[in-house]
Amino acid sequence: MAAERREHRVALEILYAVDIGNMPLEDVLVQARDEVGVFGRGDLAAAEDPYEPEYPAMDKRADAPRTTDWPVVEQLVRGTLASKTEIEAELTPHLRHWKMARLPGVDRLVLDLCAWELRNRPDVDATTVINHAVELVRRMSSDASVAYVNAVLDAFAKSPARGALETDAGAPLLETNGA
């Protein structure tokens, strides 16, 4: 099953802080887990977030939102960062007259994140990953980016993998079929 919306959103926020904000990954992970700084949801963003409502006595309600699956978030973030060069090389043929460097930051990071997940988490449903990417871009980027990110990820999901991508520990996560 694909990581849920929350994990994709949190992973994107962490990637943004590391990539665009030039913050050290370990510091960003601590801030995200502790909901400190930009990761605090106590501001207006929490009221605007339709996916994470606040419930009274949350721990006693059946409809309470689930907690963030931090191992999944870390796997998404670390895998994306460790395989960034390879993922972007695989994404580039699908960009249609664009270069990765010219894409808006959020769009590029969503493409990197979801492309890594599509290649390295065989248990995920490609449609779900792409739908979550479209939701993220719709909320955090421009209207023009929605169809573009959808098309690029759809083409990427249908394309064969170029080779085994590796985690930061160096262990291959994907095996190719003799190619």
How deeply is 144 buried, as exposed, middle or buried, from its count of CB atoms within 10 A (0-12, 13-18, 19+)? exposed
Q: What is the CATH number of the domain that holds 101?
A: 1.10.940.10
Give the model confidence (pLDDT) of 15-55 as tens digits.
999 999 999 999 999 999 988 877 776 545 555 555 555 54
State the pLDDT at residue 45.
52
pTM confidence score: 0.78
| pLDDT band at residue 166 using 50, 70 and 90 as cut-offs | very low
Give the model confidence (pLDDT) of 125-137 as tens digits.
999 999 999 999 9
| pLDDT band at residue 97 using 50, 70 and 90 as cut-offs | confident
State the pLDDT at residue 24.
95
Q: Is residue 85 one of the residues assigned to a domain? A: yes
More confident residue, 117 or 160: 117
Q: Are 176 and 163 in contact (CB under 8 A)?
A: yes
Q: Is residue 27 one of the residues assigned to a domain? A: yes
State the pLDDT at residue 68.
84
Residue 134 CA to residue 123 CA, distance in Å, equals 20
H or E element, residue 156:
helix 143-158
**pLDDT higher than 70, residue 6:** yes
Q: What is the DSSP letter of 103?
A: S
| pLDDT band at residue 168 using 50, 70 and 90 as cut-offs | very low
State the pLDDT at residue 109.
97
Q: Are 7 and 69 in contact (CB under 8 A)?
A: yes
Q: Is residue 52 one of the residues assigned to a domain? A: yes
State the pLDDT at residue 164.
46
State the pLDDT at residue 39.
77
Q: What is the phi/psi pair of residue 166, to 5°?
A: -120, 155
Q: Is residue 141 one of the residues assigned to a domain? A: yes
Q: Is residue 152 one of the residues assigned to a domain? A: yes
Q: Is residue 34 one of the residues assigned to a domain? A: yes
How deeply is 69 buried, as exposed, middle or buried, from its count of CB atoms within 10 A (0-12, 13-18, 19+)? middle
More confident residue, 51 or 162: 162
Q: Is residue 39 one of the residues assigned to a domain? A: yes
State the pLDDT at residue 60.
56
Residue 66, by phi and psi: left (phi above 0), alpha (psi -120 to 50) or beta? Answer: beta
State the pLDDT at residue 47.
55
Q: Is residue 178 one of the residues assigned to a domain? A: no
Specify the number of domains making up the chain.
Answer: 1
